A = this chain, B = another copy of it.
Amino acid sequence: MMKKWEENIRRVVPYTPGEQPNESGMIKLNTNENPYPPSPDVRRALEEMEEESFRLYPDPSASVLVDALAEYYHRPREQFFTGVGSDDVLAMAFQTFFNSDKPILFPDITYSFYPVWAELFGIPYEQPALDEEFRIVKKDYERENGGIIFPNPNAPTGLYMKLAEVEEIVRKNQDVIVIVDEAYVDFAGPSAMELVDRYENLLVVQTFSKSRSMAGMRIGFAVGNPVLIKYLNDVKYSFNSYTMSQAALSLGAAAMKDQAYFQKNIRKLVATRERTKKELKALGFRFPDSGANFIFASHESCSARELFEALRERKIYVRYFDAPRLRDYLRITIGTDEEMDALLAFLQEYIRKERIRKL
C-alpha cells in the first residue's frame, strides 16, 4: 500500500540511461563516444592541476573555458555560455527561453530529452513529423509557435541540414528563440554559429562529449548574442551558481586549445565513417546519409532487433530504439578502424548465415 508520504512524490517513467557496459573484449558503439582519447594537452593540464585549490569554489563565470572558446572561435566572450554537458545547457535554455503559451516545435524523431524537458517545465509542444526519408519538413516550422529546437545533424538519423536551410527556419521565426543543437556538427559541416551575429533569436548549442573526446568531463556550451547569453546566466546564477568543477573548466580549456589534434581526430573519424558506409551498403544495409559519428542503419532482410541481440552476444554494443518508425534500425557509433572491421566481419558472417537459413 502506498504510504502517505509517497503521495506527493513526482512519478516519472523510469528511464534507464544508455548501457555503459565495461567488459574486456567488448566493442562499445552504443553511445556515440569518440574512439580516440582527448588531446595530450589534457594530460598536461591534469598534471598541472593543483589540488590545494579544490578547497575553493570554482569560478562561477567559467572564465578560463569561456576565454578558450572565444579564442578558438574568434568571437567575443560575451557570446558564450557554458554548462555541465549540453544536456545542462539545453535544459537551462528550455527554462529560460520557452515560456510562451504557444507550443514549441521539434521533430517527431529527434533527441529524446526534448519532450522530457518540455514536460518537466510545463512547456506545451508539438512534434511535426519528419518526411519518409527522415528529413525535417521546413514548412512545418512556419506556423505560430513558442520557440523551435532541432538537432543538426538530427538524432538518431545523422542527417545534416545545409546552413541555408537552417537560416531559412531562423529567419522565418524571428519572434521566437530558435535553438540549433549541434552535438555532432563537427563531423558534418559548417556550424550555425556564424549566423549568430545576424540573428538575435538564434542560440547554437554544442558539446565536448563527441568531437572533443570529453564525455567523461561533462562540458557543453551555447553561442548566441550577448543578450541571450545574459538571460541564460541570470537564470543559472539565480538557482545554482557553481555547476562546473575546477577540473571541467581547466581540462575543457586545454582540450579546446589543441586545434591540430582536434582536426586530425575529426578527419580520421570521418574517413572511417565514409568507408563504413560503403561496406554497409555492400552488405545490404540502407541508411540516411549520416553527417554524424554514427550511422542509423536498417537491413533489407534482417530484423534489427535480432541483429542487435546477436551483436550483443558477441559483445558488440550498438543502440536499438523500440519505437515506431525506428524499430527497423540500429544506431551504430563510428569507432576505430579495427572496431569497424570487427563489426563488418561479424555482419558479413551473420548475413551469410541468415541467407542460408532462409533458403
Contact = CB atoms under 8 A, between A and B. Distances in A.
A42 interface: yes
B33 A56 contact: yes
Interface stretch (A8-16, A280-288, A306-314, A315-323): A8-16
A215 B246 CA distance: 9
Nearest to A244: B218
A179 to B, nearest CB: 12
A242 B214 CA distance: 12
A248 interface: yes
A20 B55 CA distance: 13
A112 B345 CA distance: 59
B146 A8 contact: yes
Interface string A244-264: 111110010000000000000
A311 to B, nearest CB: 19
B91 A240 contact: yes
A331 B245 CA distance: 25
A1 B36 CA distance: 49
B242 A87 contact: yes
Given A234-B12, A239-B117, A53 B216 contact: yes
B31 A57 contact: yes
Nearest to A37: B52
Interface residues of A, number: 87
B85 A242 contact: yes
Q: Is the interface of A mostly helix, strand, loop or mixed?
A: loop
A132 interface: no
Contact of A246 (B33, B37, B95, B217): B217
Interface stretch (A97-105, A187-195, A346-354): A97-105
A231 interface: yes
Contact of A38 (B13, B54, B244): B54
A239 B91 contact: yes
A306 B15 CA distance: 54
Given A38-B54, A91-B239, 13 more contacts: A5-B176, A9-B177, A9-B231, A10-B235, A16-B237, A37-B52, A53-B216, A54-B215, A54-B216, A55-B214, A58-B218, A84-B84, A84-B243
Interface of A: 3-18, 20, 28, 31, 33-38, 42-43, 46-47, 49, 51-60, 84-85, 87-88, 91, 95-100, 113, 116-117, 120, 146-147, 174-177, 200-201, 209, 213-218, 227, 231, 234-235, 237-248, 251
26 contacts: A4-B174, A6-B227, A8-B98, A8-B147, A8-B176, A9-B96, A12-B234, A14-B237, A15-B238, A36-B55, A43-B51, A53-B216, A54-B214, A54-B251, A55-B213, A55-B215, A56-B215, A57-B216, A58-B216, A84-B243, A84-B245, A85-B242, A216-B245, A217-B245, A218-B243, A218-B245
